[in-house]
Amino acid sequence: MQHVHLGRSGLRISRLCLGCMNFGPETSEADSFRIMDRALEHAINFFDTANVYGWKVGEGITEQIMGRWFAQGFGRREKVVLATKVYGRMGEWPNQARLSALHIKRACEDSLRRLRTDYVDLYQMHHIDRETPWEEIWQAMEHLQQQGKVIYVGCSNFAGWHIAQAQEIAKSRRVMGLVSEQSLYNLRDRTIELEVIPACEAYGVGLIPYSPLAGGLLAGVLERTMVGRRASEDLRKEVEQHRPKVEAYEKLCGEMKERPADVALAWLLLQKAVAAPIIGPRTIEQLDGSLRALQITLSSDTLKRLDAIFPGPGGPAPEAYAW
Give me the pLDDT at residue 230, please.
Answer: 46
In percent, how much of the chain has pLDDT > 70? 98
Report yes or no on 104 lying in a domain.
Answer: yes
Give me the pLDDT at residue 235, please.
Answer: 87
Other CB atoms within 10 Å distance of the CB of residue 92: 9
Please, which residues bridge with residue 116 across strands? none
Cα(59)–Cα(8) distance, integer angstroms: 34
Is it the case that residue 225 has pLDDT exceeding 80? no
Neighbouring residues of 14: CB distance < 8 A, sequence distance ≥ 6: 1, 2, 3, 43, 44, 45, 46, 276
Cα(237)–Cα(283) distance, integer angstroms: 26
Domain count, the chain: 1
Give me the pLDDT at residue 266, please.
Answer: 98
Is it the case that residue 46 has pLDDT exceeding 60? yes
Report yes or no on 231 lying in a domain.
Answer: no
Cα(86)–Cα(104) distance, integer angstroms: 7
Report yes or no on 289 lying in a domain.
Answer: yes
Whole-structure pTM value: 0.95
Q: Which H or E element spans position 65?
A: helix 61-70
**Alpha helical stretches, state H, 116-159:** 134-146
Report yes or no on 151 lying in a domain.
Answer: yes
Neighbouring residues of 86: CB distance < 8 A, sequence distance ≥ 6: 51, 99, 103, 104, 107, 108, 111, 123, 124, 125, 126
Stretch 183-208: mean pLDDT:
98
Give me the pLDDT at residue 226, please.
Answer: 52
Report yes or no on 179 lying in a domain.
Answer: yes
In tens, the pLDDT along 105-121 reads 999 999 999 999 999 99
CATH for 105: 3.20.20.100
Stretch 273-278: mean pLDDT:
98
Give me the pLDDT at residue 193, please.
Answer: 98
Stretch 294-309: mean pLDDT:
98
In tens, the pLDDT along 48-74 reads 999 999 999 999 999 999 999 999 999
Is it the case that residue 229 has pLDDT exceeding 60? no
Environment class of residue 34 by beta-carbon count within 10 Å: exposed (0-12), middle (13-18) or buried (19+)?
middle
Give me the pLDDT at residue 44, please.
Answer: 98
Active site (annotated) includes residue 53 = yes
Report yes or no on 225 lying in a domain.
Answer: no
Stretch 196-214: mean pLDDT:
98
Is it the case that residue 270 has pLDDT exceeding 50? yes
Q: Which of 166, 20, 148 is nearest to 82 (CA)?
A: 20
Report yes or no on 237 lying in a domain.
Answer: no
Give me the pLDDT at residue 236, please.
Answer: 86
In tens, the pLDDT along 70-83 reads 999 999 999 999 99
What is the number of alpha carbons within 13 Å of residue 306 lying toward its C-beta? 24
Stretch 151-174: mean pLDDT:
98
Q: Which domain holds residue 130?
A: 3-215+259-300
Give me the pLDDT at residue 233, please.
Answer: 84
Give me the pLDDT at residue 45, please.
Answer: 98
Cα(252)–Cα(265) distance, integer angstroms: 15
In tens, the pLDDT along 246-259 reads 999 999 999 999 99
Q: What share of the chain is helix, strand, coil (3-state, %, to 5)?
A: 45, 15, 40
Report yes or no on 245 lying in a domain.
Answer: no
Please pick, among 53, 87, 123, 152, the residue that the annotation labels catalytic.
Answer: 53
